[in-house]
Structures are given as structure tokens and as C-alpha cells.
Amino acid sequence: MNAVEKLKLIGRPNAYYPKLAKPLGGVSSAVLFSQLFYWQDKSTSDLGVYKTRDELEDETGLTHNEQRTAIKKLCEKGVLIVTEKRLEHKTFYKIDNEKVNQVLSDFANSITQSSRQMKSSCPDLYNVDVETTTKLRSLYQEITTKSTTENTTNIIEDKPKKPKRARQLPDGFKPNSHHRYIAQNENIDLDNEFVKFNDYCLASGKKYIDWDAAFNNWLRNAGKYQRYNPSSNKSNFTSLAERNRQVLESMRS
């Protein structure tokens, strides 16, 4: 069983894998890698995990600038593939498992080779470096031990999860930071669109599994209509009614 397969068995790390800091280019890179690695098996897209910068900051504590630096290092190492869907305003992150195995293997080999050279030139320092190499390789044993314990516990405690069902507009539903981001990019009035969305869903008895995603689509459709129909910005009731009709039809499809 290779390193990547063992990492998958652990589940979500409490913080990150500190022994990955050196081979991946630093603590920030290791923290970001660990978080994205955890989400890989939970992604439904072939492109990998969809995460916003704000979500990654909430989950890892890394600022946007720290994320950019970490992403650059991981991409240079070849262990991370980033795909930007500009029209959808989404960024996907995918871990290259084969490259991870190669990077860790090369790093361990370089330490082993360095240790042998050091032994011949300075036997005292060799003992210190052997300890470093041993700690790195003990990562595999540590992962195996944790995975065995946690998987046994999960088998006992985990119950089959029921599939999510569509539901009516939940109480207290309101725009979040991602909705505000879409509204700003589409140059539309978020509060006004939220009132229309609320009224439409309540009046028609609409049900959705993911209400955040439903409102995302509403905002994007409103933005598309506004771009393709410049006259909708004028204050006349005919164009406004037509605009609302187009948005409602897009939500029904």
C-alpha cells in the first residue's frame, strides 16, 4: 500500500500532516494540501474539489495571499492541479496522487543519500540525520496505525446516511458571502433579487435540495438577462416585467 492510499484511510486531520512541510515547500503548503486531500474523496466533479478562497480561509486559517503562495508551490511540485471555470466563477483543486508518491519518495531518497555522504565525512552528524530520515519514514507507520483504529471505530459508530431530499424554503434563509460575490460580479441588486426569489419560491411552493445553489442560479440568470437586455436598466414597467418573466422561466427549467 503506497503513501496516498494510507493517507486516505486516516480521514480528516485535526490540523495537518507536519512531516509533509519540508517535501511540499513549507507549513502553509502542507496545511493547504492536507485540507484539500481530505475533501478529494468527497468531490463529485472530475476536476476535483470546488472551494472558494473564503472557505479555505475558514477551514485552514490561511489568508488569501498565503493560499496563493501555497498553491503556487504545490503546483510547481506537481502535486496539485488547479482548474478555473471563469464563467461559473469557480476554482477546482485536484491532488495528483502519483505525483505525491513520487515527491515523497524522492524526498526520502535524497535524505538517505545525504545521510550516507554525511556518515563518511562526519560520523557524529550522521546520527542526527538518521533520526530525521527515520521520522519521515515513520509517517507511513503512523498513518497505518491511525487508519486501523479510526476505521474500526467508524464501522461501529457510522450509520447509513439517508439521501438528501428536496425541501421548501427554510426559515431564516438569507444571502451569504458567496451570493454577495456573485451579485457584485453580475452587477445586480442582491437585496432586490432576494426579495423576488423569496416571493417566487413561496408562491410556487418550490422545493430544492440545496437552497444556496438555487439562489446562485437565480442571481446568475438575473445577471445574464441584464447583460443581454440593456434596456432592463431603464425605469419602465414593461422591461421590468419582461425581465422578471425571463428569470422565473429560467428557474422553472
pLDDT per residue as tens digits for the range 176-232? 999 999 988 888 899 999 999 989 999 888 899 999 999 999 999 988 877 776 655
Taking the C-alpha atoms of residue 251 and residue 29, their distance in angstroms, rounded to an integer, is 40
Range 132-150 burial, b when 16+ CB lie within 10 A, else e: ebeebeebbeebeeebeee
- Please give the grid coordinates belonging to residue 174: 438569507
| Band of residue 42 on the pLDDT scale cut at 50, 70, 90 | confident
Cell 507507520 belongs to 141
Q: How far lies 209's CA from each of 18, 170, 215, in Å?
A: 38, 11, 12
Beta bridge partners of 85: 90
| DSSP codes of every residue in 126-150 | HHHHHHHHHHHHHHHHHHHHHHHHH
3 state SS of 25 = coil
pLDDT at 90 over 60: yes
Task: Quickly state the pLDDT bin for 66 (edges 50, 70, 90).
Answer: very high
At 234, list the grid cell: 431603464
Query: Mean pLDDT lowest for which of 10-24, 110-124, 179-193, 235-249?
Result: 235-249
Dihedral pair phi/psi, residue 175, rounded to 5°: -60, 145
Residue 91 pLDDT level (bands cut at 50, 70, 90) = very high
Output the pLDDT for position 128: 47
| Angle, alpha carbons 241-188-88 (nearest 5°) | 110
Q: Give the list of residues 6+ apart from residue 221 with CB closer than 8 angstroms, or none.
A: 246, 247, 250, 251
Residue 9's CB is within 10 A of a number of other CB atoms, namely 14
List of residues 6+ apart from 106 with CB closer than 8 A: none
What letter represents residue 207's amino acid?
K
pLDDT of 237 reads: 42
The CB-side HSE value for 211 (13 A sphere, CA atoms) comes to: 18
